Amino acid sequence: MKAYNVITLCGSTKFKTEFLQVQKELTLQGNIVISVGLFGHSGDDEVWKEGTKEMLDDMHKRKIDMANEIFVINKNGYVGSSTKSEIAYAKSTGKTVRFLEPFEK
């Protein structure tokens, strides 16, 4: 039985098109890809109901726990505060962090 690399996607949900493209590419490369469940900045208004964003942010950390690495969708170099928190969390738990575009702190 083949062991597949598991990657969790991180980044602003305003980049829905890029999330879907990267998910497709990484899957075709033979990875199991875990993504976001909702795109709050791309029209999924349910995210903004009371308590939902906090639940989703916590859930995303659990998705990072399940992965070997994270892949950050940082289109045009954009990394928001939630994504910065996810990067710091991933690094603190020893995960590899890769980026769509070059990233400087």
Quick: pLDDT tens for 37-75. 888 888 888 888 888 888 888 999 999 999 999 999 999
The predicted model scores a pTM of 0.92
pLDDT digits (tens, 9 = 90+) for 11-20: 999 999 999 9
The helix (H) or strand (E) run that includes residue 99 is strand 96-99
The helix (H) or strand (E) run that includes residue 82 is helix 81-92
What is the DSSP-derived secondary structure letter of residue 74? Answer: -
Using the predicted structure, report yes or no on whether residue 8 has a pLDDT greater than 90. yes
The contacts of residue 59 (CB under 8 Å, 6+ apart) are: 37
Q: Is 87 exposed, middle or buried (0-12, 13-18, 19+ CB in 10 A)?
A: buried
E strand segments, 41-87:
69-73
pLDDT score at 38: 85
User: What tokens does 6 get?
Assistant: 């598991």
